[in-house]
Amino acid sequence: MPWSKGSLSWFWKSEDDVEDAGRSGAMSDAALKLGDGTGREEARSVLARAHEEGRSALDESLGKKVLADYGVRVPRAATARTPDALALAAGRLTPPFAVKVLSSQALHKSDLGGVRLGLATAGDAAGAAAAIRDGWPGEAPAIEGFLVEEMAPAGQEMVIGGFHDPQFGPMVMVGFGGVFVEIFADVTFRICPIDRADAYAMLDELTAKPLLEGARGRPPQDKEALVDALLRIGGADGLLMEAGGGIAELDINPMIVGREGAVAVDARIVLRAGDAGASRSPDQDVAPPPASFAPLFAPRTVAVAGVSASGKGPGNRFIANLRALGFAGTIYPIHPKAETLEGLTVYRDLGGTPEPVDYAYIAVPKAGVADLLRSAGGRVRFAQVMTSGFGEGGANDDGQNALIAAAREGGVRVLGPNSLGTYSPRGRIAFAEVRRAESEPGRIGIVSQSGGIGIDFVRTGQSRGLRYSGVVTVGNSADLGPNDLLAHFIDDPETTVIGMYLEDIGDGRRFFDLLRRAQGRKPIVLLKGGRSAEGQKAVVSHTGALAGDFRIWRALSAQTGCILVDTIEDLLEVLLLFQTITPSPDRISRRLALFGNGGGASVVATDCFVEQGFEIATFAEKTAERLAALDIPDGASTSNPIDFPANAFNRSNGKVAADILPALHDDSGTDAILLHLNLPVLISYRGSDIVPNIIESAIAARGQAGQDAPHLVIVMRSDGTDEVDGVRREQRRRAVAAGIPVFENFATAARALGAMARFEAFQAARSHGGGGNR
**pLDDT attached to residue 606:** 94
pTM above 0.75, yes or no: yes
pLDDT (tens digit, 9 = 90+) per residue, 377-394?
Answer: 999 999 999 999 887 765
Average of per-residue pLDDT values in the chain: 87
* Reduced 3-state DSSP string for 605-662: HHHHHHHCCCEECCCCHHHHHHHHCCCCCCCCCCCCCEECCHHHHHHCCCCCHHHHHH
Closest of 99, 113, 15, 102 to residue 65, by C-alpha: 102
Q: Are 430 and 321 in contact (CB under 8 A)?
A: yes
**pLDDT attached to residue 377:** 95
**C-alpha span between 108 and 300 (Å, rounded):** 65
Written as one string, the DSSP assignment of 286-346 is SPPPPS--HHHHS-SEEEEE---TTS-SHHHHHHHHHHHHT--SEEEEE-SS-SEETTEE-
Residues of the chain with pLDDT > 70: what percent? 89
pLDDT (tens digit, 9 = 90+) per residue, 471-486?
Answer: 999 999 999 999 999 9
**pLDDT attached to residue 5:** 31
Please classify residue 54 by burial: count the beta carbons closer than 10 Å to its beta carbon, then call 0-12 exposed, 13-18 middle and 19+ buried: exposed
Residue 22 confidence (pLDDT) above 50: no
Total residues belonging to the chain: 774
Residue 15 confidence (pLDDT) above 80: no
DSSP-derived 3-state class of residue 361: strand
**C-alpha span between 103 and 141 (Å, rounded):** 7
Kindly list the distances between the CA atom of residue 259 and the CA atoms of 156, 213, 452, 478, 502, in Å, as whole numbers in the listed order: 9, 10, 56, 54, 45
Read off φ and ψ for residue 111, nearest 5 degrees: -65, -25
Residue 335 confidence (pLDDT) above 90: yes
Q: Which amino acid, residue 314?
A: P
Residue 281 confidence (pLDDT) above 80: no
**pLDDT attached to residue 274:** 66
pLDDT (tens digit, 9 = 90+) per residue, 580-639?
Answer: 999 988 889 999 999 999 778 999 999 999 999 999 999 999 999 999 998 888 888 889
Cβ neighbours for 139, distance < 8 A, ≥ 6 positions apart: none
pLDDT (tens digit, 9 = 90+) per residue, 186-227?
Answer: 999 999 999 999 999 999 999 999 989 887 778 899 999 999
The pLDDT-based confidence of 549 (bands split at 50, 70, 90) is confident
Mean pLDDT of 393-414: 85
Domains, the chain, in order of start with CATH, read: 5-150 (3.30.1490.20), 294-578 (3.40.50.261), 585-767 (3.40.50.261)
**pLDDT attached to residue 438:** 79
Closest of 162, 410, 148 to residue 271, by C-alpha: 162
pLDDT (tens digit, 9 = 90+) per residue, 23-56?
Answer: 333 333 333 333 344 588 999 999 999 988 888 8
The pLDDT-based confidence of 708 (bands split at 50, 70, 90) is confident
Mean pLDDT of 736-765: 95
Closest of 174, 158, 161, 171 to residue 553, by C-alpha: 171
Range name among 158-167, 406-415, 536-545, 565-574 with the lowest pLDDT average: 536-545
Do the bridges between strand 344-345 and strand 340-341 make them parallel or antiparallel, or are there none, so unpaired? antiparallel
DSSP-derived 3-state class of residue 163: strand
Residue 11 confidence (pLDDT) above 60: no
Residue 721, H or E segment: none
Closest of 393, 458, 391, 375 to residue 420, by C-alpha: 458
Nearest 5°: CA angle at 213, between 208 and 214? 100
Cβ neighbours for 365, distance < 8 A, ≥ 6 positions apart: 387
**C-alpha span between 548 and 424 (Å, rounded):** 37
